[in-house]
Every structure is written in structure tokens, then in C-alpha cells.
Structure 1
């Protein structure tokens, strides 16, 4: 899965371990949940970190929701759940791996 390079041009805030935003491990980097977006540092600026394709998480038997034990992160018009180093989002009767 690759990630689109969509620069977040007006981003004055510097994310880091004490910035107050949720850290989301994502492959070889860390995203920061901020205002319904996931930001990652790339080449001296901040990008919106979004997958470029639909990736279903097959074999995911766990149902996420309030009280499931996994941290939730607002992501645009839905909620992702942080689980085993991935972000899971409900989509058409299955879970997507973001």
C-alpha cells in the first residue's frame, strides 16, 4: 500500500511526542491525528497521510466500537480504531486497513 503525497500547506503546528495530538504508528513513520486529519512529516513539511487505494483487512473478526478497548481517532467523516499498528475503519460490512 502506498500513500498519496498530499501536502498540508498551511500547517503552523509542529507535531511531536508532547504536542497533545494522538500519535498513530503507521508503517515506517508516525501520523498525528489533528482536526480529523492524519498528518505526517515528509521532506520538511506536513502531509495528509492517506492510502491511495481501498485495502480491506481480511480475517478481522474483532468488532470495533465504543468500549472495544482500542483507541479511536476521528478521521474525516468516520472513526478509525488503532489496532496492532493499523488504523481500522468500518466500510461496507468489513474493516479497511488504513
Structure 2
């Protein structure tokens, strides 16, 4: 288990900004620094297990943990109804139309 809260619903906000989900222990308060990265821990064809984190904790992840993908946080990250779009770079956004080739995974 990582010390990062899995964002299963709308991300934590403070003063209208999305905040980092790092927490040193289960039940401890989260970091609450402004999130700058959207991190996918795992990806399946159907969903992404993800966290929204700050620059400091992204550095910790890069040094010590394994993750599937990441992209800079955007206004679409963590919004209800959006999903993870594969690509270079990956990004979040609304589901594509039925005839679009872009695969999208729901966020969990």
C-alpha cells in the first residue's frame, strides 16, 4: 500500500484548488499542497487507479515507487465524468464519441 490516497471521488480541494493526496499514515491528514501531477498507479482497459499529487511527492514517487503513467494536472483531472486518455502525453477529458479511436479509462 502506498502512502498516497487513491482518489475514488472528486479530489480534495482547498480554496478552489485540487490538493495533493499524500498522507504519511492511514487516517493522517493529506499533504494539501496544490496538486500538480495526475498519477496512474495501475491501468486496465476499463479503469485507472490514480492519485493527484504535488511536485515534492511526485519526486518521491519517481525515486522509490512504480507507477503506470502520469501527466501534468489539468482542469479535467478529477472531474466527474472524465476519464484517462492514452497518448503522448496522456491526458484527462470527457469520453470520446462512439466513433473516436481514442481509448479512455474511467478514473477510480
Q: TM-score, normalised by structure 1?
A: 0.28
Q: TM-score, normalised by structure 2?
A: 0.26
Bigger helix share: 2
